[in-house]
Structure formats: C-alpha cells, structure tokens
Structure 1
Amino acid sequence: MPVNPTYPGVYLQELPSGARTIAGLPTSITAFVGCFVRGPVNVPVRVFNPGDFERNFGGLDRQRETTYGVTQFFQNGGGQALIVRVAPGGVAASVEMLDDAAGVALVATAGQQIGEASADNPGLWGNNLRLDVDYAAADPATQFNLTVTEIREDAGRALVVRSETFRNLSMDETLTSHAPPVVNDGSVLIQLTQGGSTDRPAVTGTLADAGADPSAATAGDSAIDMTVTIGGAAVTETLEIAGADMPASLPDARALLEGLIRAARPTEPMWAQAAVQLMDGRLRVLLGRNGTDYDPEAVVSFADDTGDLAANLGLAGGAVTENVQQYRLGSPNAALAFRGAAVAGVDDTGATAAALAGSRAARSGVFALETADLFNILCIPEASLLDGPGQVTNLNQVMSAAIPYCEERFAFLLIDPAPDVDTPDDAAGWLDDIATAGMRHRNAAAYFPRLRIADPLNDNRPRSIGPSGAMAGLYARTDGDFGVFRAPAGIIANLRGVQGVDYRMTDPENGLLNPLGLNAIRIFDNIGTVSWGARTLVGADMLSPDWRYVPVRRTALNIEASLMRGLQFAVFAPNDEPLWAEIRLAANAFMSRLFRQGAFQGASPRDAFFVKCDAETNPQSDIDLGIVNVLVGFAPLKPAEFVVLSLQLMNLQAAN
C-alpha cells in the first residue's frame, strides 16, 4: 500500500514485480460417459487407476462397452479419468429401519455423497448391502452404532467385500452426532434420511429385556426353547441346562448360552458360529455371520421349556426385542420384525441416446461434466452401438450434444465406428453418413477398425471393442513421453493389450481412408498393433488444412485453455499500457516455455510465436467497452505424414 510519511525517517514499501505466471494445463484427462455396474449417476468421479475404477464402478462387465474402454485407457498409459455413469431404468436399493414402536426411524438407500450432492447408486449391487445396529455406544440409552457391510455370495458363503462402522450416532438433529449427516458424509455405500420417528432404529439380533437376574431362576434343571424363523419356516432346538450348571451372573449366562447354541447343531455354521454378547447389561444373540446357511433376515426367539431361566435372562416375555439378524437393502419381504418396506435394486436397462446426450439443465449425460473443473478428451463408446446397420441417427443425437460441448470446454472427442463397419468401403460410407449428420469437426477424430482384445470375463476369448478408450490412453502416454504437440501415431504408438483388429488393412486400403480423414489402426510384423494416422475429422484433403492434424488441434486447445485461465488477473484491471505490458510478459513467458519444450517450428522464439497486446490491438472504442484484445500466434509442428525418399544413381563413367 502507498506510504503515508508523517515523521522524519526511512520508510519501506514493497512493490509487486508485475510478473504473472501462466501454468500449462493438463492435456489428457479423459472423460467417459456410459453405463457401469455401479456408481453415482450423472456425477463425474475422478479415478486414477484400475483399482479406483473397480471400487467405485464395479470394473468390467460384459454388457457394458464403456467398462472395456476405461480398462484399455489405463492399460495404454492413461493416468486420470472422469467417469460419468448413466443408468436409464436403474433403481437404487433401499430399506426402512423401524424403531421399537414400529415407526420409521431411518431409510437407508444405496448411494454416496459426491461434493455437496447426495447421489443414488442404482443397480443389483445394492441388494448386497447389510446393516447392523447395536446400542454398545458411549451413551447406551440414547445413542447407537451402525455397521454397513457389502457382501458377495461365493459358493453359498457370504464374503465381506468392505465394511464401514459409525459409532455413537444420535437421532437428535441438534447434535453433531446426528446420524444422517454423519453417515452421509462418511459412507461410500449408503445414504440415510430420517423417517417420521425420532427414536433409534431397533437393534439387530435378539436383545434381551433389561433387568435380567439369572440368580433368581428356579433352582434345578432347566430347558430353553430356541426358535429360528426364516421366511415363515421355523426350527426349534431345546437347550438343556443342568441344575449344577445354572448361571449366577449375566457373564456366566452369556458363555453358557453361547456354548449351548453352538453345540445344538455343530454341523450347521449358522448355529455353530452363533455369538452371544453382553451389551448394556443385556444379552444379545446373533447367528453365525459367515455360515453357508446364514440368512440375515432370520429371527431368533426364546421360550422356557422347563424352569424359568429364559424369562430371568430377559429372553422370554417382557420387552425382549426379536429382530432380523441384519437389515438387508432391497429384500422383497415387505415387513419383517423391525425392518420396514424395502425397494430392490435394479440395474440400468442399457444406454440410450437421450441418457448419453443428457440435459444441460439437469446436468445429466455429457452435461454432467459441468461440475468437473477440467477434461481434455471425451469418449462415449456405447454411442456407436445404438444404431442398426447403416444408421447413425442415435449416434448423431449423442454427438450433436457432445461436439459443441467439447468445443465449449476446449476438449477433444473420439468417435468409435459402429460394429457393422467391417471393411474400408464400409468405413468410407460411414464417414459420408456422419458428415451428412454434421459430425465432421476440428475437435474430433475417429479410428478404424475396431480392436480385438482378450475378454477376461469370457475365458479370454477375443472381443471386439471400439478403439476410443485405447486411443485416449495412447494420447496420454504420448503427451507424457513427448508432449501434446507429438502425433499419437507411428511405430512408437503401439496399442497395449490388443490382440488384433477386426480388419487388417493393406497400404492401398489405408490410402483410401487417410485422405478422407479417418485414421487407421494397423498391424505390422515385429512391431504389433499401432496407430497409423493423426488426422481430425476435418482432416480430409478437401477440407480445412489449418486443423487437419490431431496434435496441431490439441496443442491449440491447450494453449487456448491455459491462456484463458492464466489471464484471469486482467479482469477488472485498469485497461491501459501497464496491464497490456503484464499480459504480454505473462503470455510471452508461457509461449517461450512451450518453445523450449519443442512445441513450435522455428529456430528462435521470434520465428515460433508472437504475442501482441498494445494500443494497436486495443483502440479507444474497445477500451470504452471494457475490452482487452490479445493476439497470440504460433507456428505449429505438423507431423511428417508422408516421407518421400528420392534415390539417384550416380554415373561414375560420365564423371571420368
């Protein structure tokens, strides 16, 4: 700030340097829009590796083409992906958790919190979620613990995939321990909403009545009937207790009862792995959680056969709570014990043009990327599967949304050919169709033929997939190794994890498609499968020469996006020479850095680029309108697409 001298002495004033740094943006963050096994719907989720993809979206699925595209992206060198799931017809599994008076305490729905939004997670996977409630909390009278478990059925056994536990939850919305916000912020499996009740959900398992006193039971031999009810079918076992073994305390009773239950049916894991806990001064009985015969909706009840030990343990009569072993999301049983109505999870019904294209107002489909800060490449593999042979109507509906949106976001679009495009003649016809539909654009490219990969979900038999995912990974790998200005093509551009292609082209056939702006994927002996073209969809010989090549267009997009973000400091600054000088300094420094990386033609920066922002580009009329004009030009590197070798024979006799 300016110095205001008021006394004799030396004053210090720090002055800004006036230097602004423009950072280059990433070039290969790839967005995928399509159907997946699981995951939030219409919310872009960033994943960095196949493990992230498996955890958040379920990994490969034979019915969903995009899952193979994402896998190929990472296999070929991709580093960051944004996944947008569409799920037309999908339903998220849910369940009502009732309190002791059968009021709805909480409703649990398969889903997770993404940013500030709660996103449902449709699909059959949600039917594998189970919830445990217990009162072993810091305040057993008012609080509860909630455990969320995702299981996977394997040969009749329930194997735990992952588990989350939330402790000391409350139903009081004025407290920081209020269950819905605590769980919603921390869980990647469920979202809670509070029902009409403010009481806690009933504890799972069988919870004895309070005030049990086993020492008050009648002396002598006793027998307790234990009944397990599953789906209306009941099985009862009588647990015999000799008078000499009568427990005198609840800890003794806990150990005795657990031993008797396990011994009643030692060959059935549901019984043999049963647990009896001492919780809040009461007994809690649970069946074996990992048994092959275990059913989470089994209900355990007790009654005295002879003697009164069950009653004195609080397990019979009184206010004993006989609940399901676990709340199970999506169970078709409408009401069982203290579990209320449930909605079964349903998978999506397959990609549609409307779902993939989405809506800007609803931020769905392609437009779900509105909430993403940045993406550079867009792939929609399932769009190529929507039409019948020789048709591009649905593809056009998707791309008519995707192409303008990519232009708006400085992104590049990869379009896959349809499965029926089998030969170069088919490919040429397909190009005519998409040209008629208006899909030839400088921000888009297409590759032919489709790839053949080993399908791990089908005994590694060959599967045909669109090349967009693998090519996006190759773009990322080339950008990392050389820079965005290097064409992702040539003998260095081998495609990993690819067994072959649907059609093996010859040089003359390649020569038919290359002038039309369709890039070839070729197989060469001793090299493998490689990308053998670098043209955009306006790269046909008869169309625009400025944006013919993929690396030229992607370099321009990166420069545009980087300068647009890096010059934000100029907004609302005084529009005169000091600002113009700052802009020139910042933009020149950014372009010089790209020149040193080898992004431009020319032996010196003067030959490679220019930045102009002065009184000539900013007349007074524009200054009056608040406009600053910056002119940036650059000489792009263009790929050596045709290498012409001239060979001349020397006539030595004539030389003599």
Structure 2
Amino acid sequence: MPVNPTFPGVYIEEVPSGVRTVVGVATSIGAFVDGFARGPQNVAIRVFGMADFSREFGGLHRDSPGSYAVRQFFENGGSEAHVVRVASPDASAATATLTDGAVGDAGAAAMLTVTAGRQLRGQLFPDPGLWGNNLYLEIDYDCANSETQFNLTISEIVEVGGRRTTARTETFRNLTLAVDTEHSADEVVNNASRLVNVTMVGSPPDRPASSGTLGASLPAAPGAAAATLALTVDAGSGAQSFQVEKPANVGWAQLRPLLEAAIRGVARTAGLAAADRDALAGATVRLLGNGTTATPFRFHVSPGRGGAAALNARLTFGGADVATLGLSGAGSLANDGLYRLGGGADGTMPVADTTLIGDAATKTGLYALEDVDLFNILCIPRAADLSGTAMRAVYSEVIGYAERRRAFALIDIPASVNDLDRALAWLTDNEVLRHRNAAVFFPRTRVPDPLNGNRPRAIGTSGTIAGLFARTDAARGVWKAPAGTEARLRNVDSLDYLLTDPQNGVLNPLGVNCLRTFPIYGTVAWGSRTLEGADALASDWKYIPVRRFTLFLEESLFRGTKWVVFEPNDEPLWAQIRLNLGAFMQSLFRQGAFQGATPRDAYFVKCDAETTTQDDINRGVVNIVVGFAPLKPAEFVIIRIQQMAGQIEA
C-alpha cells in the first residue's frame, strides 16, 4: 500500500512488478462416457490409473467397450482421465431394509433403508448394478452405549477361484437414529461410505435388530471350576456335537476367543456344504454388556459373511443356551444371519444414444462433464456399436461439445468396417462428422482380453490413440504429431485389417488416419490428420498437432488473461499484457513449438492503440492479437537419387 510519511526516517514500499505468469494448461486429460459394471451414474470421477478405475467402476466388463478404452488409455501413456458412467433406465440399485425384528418378520418396523451408492459433492448418487447384490450388512451392539447405539459393518463378498472372499469392508461405530446428532447414521455413513447410502426411517431409542444371534443373559461369572461346554451344530445334514473345554478361573471375556475358535473349528468337519463351512469359518463372537442387572453379559455370534442362513449352532453351559448361530434355537433374540442387499440389476446394455448424450440442463450423460474443469480428449467408444443414425447423433453432439470445451474428439468406427471398401463407404455415409476438432483412425485394433483367457478382442481405437496422444505430449510436446515409428501402439496384438501402401494412399488424402504394422517397429499410428484434413478441403486445420496446439494456446491464454477483466483499459495495461503473453510465447519458442529461427519469425503479441481504438475503450473492450507459425508434420519424405556422370579432368 502507498506509504504515508509522518516522521523522519526510512520507509519501504513494495511495488508490484506487473508480471502475471501465463501457465500452459494440461493437454492430454482424457474423458470417457459409457456403461460400466458399477459406479455412480451421471457424475464425472477423476481416475489416475486402472487401479482407480477398477475401484470406482469395477474394471473391465464384457459389454462395456469404454472399459477397454480406459485400459488402453493408461497402457499407452495416459495419466489422468474423467470417467462418466451412464446406465439404462431399467438398471436398478440393490437395497435392503433393516428392521427392529428378525428377517422375514412381517410385523417388524423398518428402521434403516440401505441403497448401493455413494455421496459426491453433497449429493447422493445411486450405484445400480448386479454388484450391489454382493453387499452384506452386519449390525451389532458392541458400542459405547450398548442399549441405544449400534455398529454397522458393510462387506462386499465376491467369489474368486470358487471361494468367497471379502473385497471391501467398511465399519461405522456408535451410530444412532437420532436426527442431526454427532452419531446420526445418515450423516456418518453417507459422508464416509464408498459403498452405500442410508436413509433413516425409525427413531431412537429404536434401532435395527442385531444381525447374527444374541444369546441369553449370562451370570456375572461362569464359575471358577473347569468345565465342559456342549457345542451342537446342525447344518441340515444332522446335528453334530462338539466339546469346548473351559479352563479354571476363566471369565466370560477369556471364554469368548475359546468359543469363537470352537465354532470356527467345526468348519473343518468333513461333509459340510461350502456355504455352511463359510458361515462357520468366518463366525465372530462378541461379549456385550457389563455384567450388571441392567446390562447383563450376553454373547453375540455372527456367521461368516456370505454364509448359509439355515445353519444352527448352539452352545450349552450349565443346561442353558449361552450362544446360538442360525435361524432357530433358544436364546435367539434378534435377527438371524446377515442382512443382504438385493434387487440390483445392470439393465440393458448397450445403452441407447439418448442416454449417452444425456441432457445439458440436468448434467446427465455427456453433459456430466460440465462439472469438470478441464479435459482435452473426448472418447465415447459405445457410439460405434449403435445404428448409423444413432451413432451420427451421438458423435455430432460429441464434436459440438468438444468444440465448446476446446477439446478434441476421437471417433471410433464400427466392427463391420473391416476393409478398404467398407471404410470408404463409412466415410461417405458420415461426411457430416467432418470437423477440425475430431479425427478417425482405421482399422480397429485387437487387444488381449483378460476376461477371455487373453484371447484377442477387437475394439475401437479411441482409448489407444488417446493414450498415444498423452505419451507424445509428455515426451515431445503437443506440437509433435502423434504418429510415426515412435508412435507404437502398446498392448495391441494385431489389427483388424492390414493395409498396403497404395491403400494407405487412398485413405490419407481423405482425412482417415491409418494404423500400420511394420517389421521391427510393430504396430504404429501412420497418420495425423483431422477429419477436416482431406486434401480437397484445403483447411488450415489439416493436421492434428496444429489443431491441438492451437486449442492448448487458446485455453492457456483464456485462463492466463482473466486478471485483465476490469483493469483500467489504457497503455499501462496493454504493456503488461504484451509482457506476460510475450513471456509465455517466448518460453514455447525455446521449447521448439514454432517455426522460425527467431522470435520475430515465430510469433507476435500485439495489444496497443492500433488494436484497441477509443471506440473499443468506450465499449469496455481490449483487443489482443496473438499470431504464431505452427509446426507441420513432414508427411512425405522425398529422396531424389541421381547418378553422377564420370568426371573428366581437363
């Protein structure tokens, strides 16, 4: 701030330099829209690799070309993507209603509704799909206040190699159905769970019934003498009795692990069904209460996740049941077994064109990307599987949206386009898609499919090429054509069609980029033209690197000049603009982004009284003119060979 001297001495005033650095934006952030195995609908989620994608969207899915495209994107050099899941209207999210009584009790009152989904940006998003049917819920009362609170454990049980295993688990402790409290179930679970969201139906002091079984009240101590407890297990094939030895001077707390080990040990018994074995092997035993008259000791037993519901195990001590597990047996005071979500369905796949496009007003489908700050490469591989009319509708919307967002769209061709004649026919039928912000590559690629024993699967090229764009940008810069012998396609076994040089010569002048396989080099991208790159169009935006570099400049300058708005519109401002934009362009020149041996030959930044007249100033307008000489790829290398005539010395 200005110094106001009031006494003799030295004053220091900091003077702003006027330097406002323009920072180049990212150039290869991918965006993918498709149906996936799981994930919240119509919301863009950022992923940084296949591990993120698998966790959020379930990984590869046979009916999801987008899932293979995402994998190819990361395999070929991509590092960041925004993924949007869309689903058919007939897809549904798995749900379960937790009551205050046993499962199946018609008279029980609903306490808590649980739905597969999650909260993002303060909004609850359902997560439809069959995956939700693998969610199991466990309620227990081992809480700070065991009379009014409850714990909720959510487990996703999947089958791997013929055995059930827990893929994910979440536990939320000391919950209550009280509204707007620190431990309110909906506040705690919905803000933290990545698997479910809940809706409270009941109110305190009620709470969901405990899962598993709750044994009868126990005396304050089991007795000092050693004793034998009888454990009876009935798994539908006849009751079997086992003994649990209680050492002397052991209390209920010390007896708990012995009881748990005994129940789990029964799982090793021959003749048990797999589901019964899982229920026993994963059984847990808790000791609730504090031994007082108001809160007596009780054993709480839960079966293993994913276990059988018809299993019955009873532990008898002193003629009374002290622990039970299953649907029947004395002392079963609460819900038997585990709650399980149900009703989840994937719905119809492939999804329709209208679902992919979505709605701009409600930010669904493609327009879920409205909440994304920046993306550069847009891929919707699903569109290639639609009918011709539906495909054109989707890709027309995609191209228009990409243009508005200063992004580049990659178009996939249908599986039926697998030779030169069909490629030419497809191009004729889809001339409406020609645009400077889009490109198409031919033929389709064959990649190893982990879901089919790594046998080759033909997929569209968009994910692979998007990854190649990212790799080239990182290694050489966005101004380098993503093509040539360096542009190897990773994780590609072969191509759907092998082109010859003459066939390549037919497609290239029409703006179709060819993929080729050469000895030593392998499979590479052998073209770098936009769909406006046909020779007959003579467009300034013939080449992909020229167009993408221009989009990079536009977005960088757009973001880097926001500080100009509302500044005094006169020569001091214009000088600052020239300084800052010139510094940005000079840094690109030093990286080799432009043609020309000198900055004067490579670029210019003009902002002065000539570009901004007094009339412009009166209207609040400042005009900045930025020019640059783009690098263009050397498509054709011509070598002239000439024999030298014999030299005759005089």
Question: Shared fold (TM-score greater than 0.5)?
Answer: yes
CA RMSD in angstroms comes to 3.1
1:428 to 416, 424, 430: 424
Give the conservation status (yes or no) of the 8 Å contact 2:117–2:196: yes
Tell me what 1:340 maps to: none
When normalised by structure 2's length, the TM-score is 0.89
Tell me what 2:289 maps to: 280
Q: Is the alpha carbon distance of 1:491 and 1:272 closer, same or farther for their aligned partners in structure 2, counting shifts above 3 Å?
A: closer
1:102 to 95, 105, 108: 108
Tell me what 2:294 maps to: none
Q: Is the alpha carbon distance of 1:415 and 1:264 closer, same or farther for their aligned partners in structure 2, counting shifts above 3 Å?
A: closer
How far the C-alpha of 1:379 sits from its partner, in A, is: 0.6
Within the alignment, does 1:473 sit opposite 2:464 as a pair? no
The within-5 A match list for 1:166-565 is: 166-198=172-204, 199-210=206-217, 212=219, 250-251=252-253, 254=256, 266-267=269-270, 268=272, 269=277, 270-271=279-280, 274-281=283-290, 282-286=297-301, 288-289=303-304, 294-295=307-308, 297-298=309-310, 309-310=320-321, 321-330=333-342, 343-387=343-387, 392-435=388-431, 438-565=432-559
Give the conservation status (yes or no) of the 8 Å contact 1:211–1:314: no
How far the C-alpha of 1:284 sits from its partner, in A, is: 3.2
How far the C-alpha of 1:372 sits from its partner, in A, is: 0.8
Q: Structure 1 CA distance, aligned partners of 2:451 and 2:263? A: 42
Give the conservation status (yes or no) of the 8 Å contact 1:20–1:586: yes
Q: Structure 2 CA distance, aligned partners of 1:620 and 1:126? A: 65
Within the alignment, does 1:648 sit opposite 2:649 as a pair? no
Give the conservation status (yes or no) of the 8 Å contact 2:375–2:407: yes
Helix, strand or coil: the match of 1:369? helix
Q: Structure 1 CA distance, aligned partners of 2:219 and 2:382? A: 62
Comparing 310-319 with 261-270, which one deviates more in the overlay? 310-319
How far the C-alpha of 1:43 sits from its partner, in A, is: 1.0
Q: Structure 2 CA distance, aligned partners of 1:479 and 1:618? A: 35
Q: Structure 1 CA distance, aligned partners of 2:329 and 2:445? A: 68
- Matched positions, count: 627
Give the conservation status (yes or no) of the 8 Å contact 2:76–2:489: yes
How far the C-alpha of 1:454 sits from its partner, in A, is: 2.0
How far the C-alpha of 1:543 sits from its partner, in A, is: 0.9
Give the conservation status (yes or no) of the 8 Å contact 2:221–2:252: yes
Give the conservation status (yes or no) of the 8 Å contact 1:378–1:413: yes
Tell me what 1:13 maps to: 13
Give the conservation status (yes or no) of the 8 Å contact 2:392–2:433: yes
Helix, strand or coil: the match of 1:521? strand
How far the C-alpha of 1:308 sits from its partner, in A, is: 5.0
Q: Structure 1 CA distance, aligned partners of 2:299 and 2:201? A: 26
Tell me what 1:122 maps to: 128
Comparing 103-112 with 469-478, which one deviates more in the overlay? 103-112
How far the C-alpha of 1:481 sits from its partner, in A, is: 0.6
What amino acid maps onto 1:78 in structure 2?
A: G
Q: Structure 1 CA distance, aligned partners of 2:633 and 2:250? A: 89
The within-5 A match list for 1:82-161 is: 82-88=82-88, 89-100=90-101, 102-154=108-160, 157-161=163-167
Spell out, residue by residue over 1:198-232, the C-alpha distance to the aligned partner (whole angstroms, 9 max, x if none).
4322221111355656769xxx999897777xxxx
Spell out, residue by residue over 1:135-168, the C-alpha distance to the aligned partner (whole angstroms, 9 max, x if none).
2122323322221111112455321112122222
Give the conservation status (yes or no) of the 8 Å contact 2:611–2:623: yes
How far the C-alpha of 1:432 sits from its partner, in A, is: 1.4
Q: Structure 2 CA distance, aligned partners of 1:65 and 1:317? A: 51
Helix, strand or coil: the match of 2:456? strand
How far the C-alpha of 1:113 sits from its partner, in A, is: 2.1
How far the C-alpha of 1:283 sits from its partner, in A, is: 2.8
Helix, strand or coil: the match of 1:310? strand
Spell out, residue by residue over 1:355-382, the C-alpha distance to the aligned partner (whole angstroms, 9 max, x if none).
1111111211111100111100001111
Q: Structure 1 CA distance, aligned partners of 2:329 and 2:426? A: 76
How far the C-alpha of 1:512 sits from its partner, in A, is: 0.6
What amino acid maps onto 1:395 in structure 2?
A: M
The within-5 A match list for 1:593-608 is: 593-608=587-602
Q: Is the alpha carbon distance of 1:558 and 1:256 closer, same or farther for their aligned partners in structure 2, counting shifts above 3 Å?
A: closer
How far the C-alpha of 1:132 sits from its partner, in A, is: 1.5
How far the C-alpha of 1:312 sits from its partner, in A, is: 11
Q: Which structure 2 segments of 5+ residues have no match? A: 102-106, 291-296
Spell out, residue by residue over 1:4-38, the C-alpha distance to the aligned partner (whole angstroms, 9 max, x if none).
33334332221111000011011000101111111
Q: Structure 1 CA distance, aligned partners of 2:530 and 2:638? A: 23
Give the conservation status (yes or no) of the 8 Å contact 1:618–1:628: yes
Q: Is the alpha carbon distance of 1:223 and 1:214 closer, same or farther for their aligned partners in structure 2, counting shifts above 3 Å?
A: farther
Q: Structure 1 CA distance, aligned partners of 2:443 and 2:324? A: 73
Comparing 527-536 with 346-355, which one deviates more in the overlay? 346-355
Comparing 576-585 with 366-375, which one deviates more in the overlay? 576-585
What amino acid maps onto 2:94 in structure 1?
A: A
Helix, strand or coil: the match of 2:55? helix
Tell me what 2:609 maps to: 615
Spell out, residue by residue over 1:459-486, the C-alpha distance to the aligned partner (whole angstroms, 9 max, x if none).
2222111111100011011001100000
Tell me what 2:78 maps to: 78
When normalised by structure 1's length, the TM-score is 0.88
How far the C-alpha of 1:286 sits from its partner, in A, is: 2.9
Helix, strand or coil: the match of 2:151? strand
Helix, strand or coil: the match of 2:33? strand
How far the C-alpha of 1:456 sits from its partner, in A, is: 2.0
Within the alignment, does 1:61 sit opposite 2:92 as a pair? no
Within the alignment, does 1:637 sit opposite 2:631 as a pair? yes
Q: Is the alpha carbon distance of 1:67 and 1:8 closer, same or farther for their aligned partners in structure 2, counting shifts above 3 Å?
A: same
Give the conservation status (yes or no) of the 8 Å contact 1:584–1:611: yes
Q: Is the alpha carbon distance of 1:318 and 1:246 closer, same or farther for their aligned partners in structure 2, counting shifts above 3 Å?
A: farther
How far the C-alpha of 1:133 sits from its partner, in A, is: 1.6
What amino acid maps onto 1:530 in structure 2?
A: V
Q: Structure 2 CA distance, aligned partners of 1:609 and 1:272? A: 72
Give the conservation status (yes or no) of the 8 Å contact 1:274–1:285: no
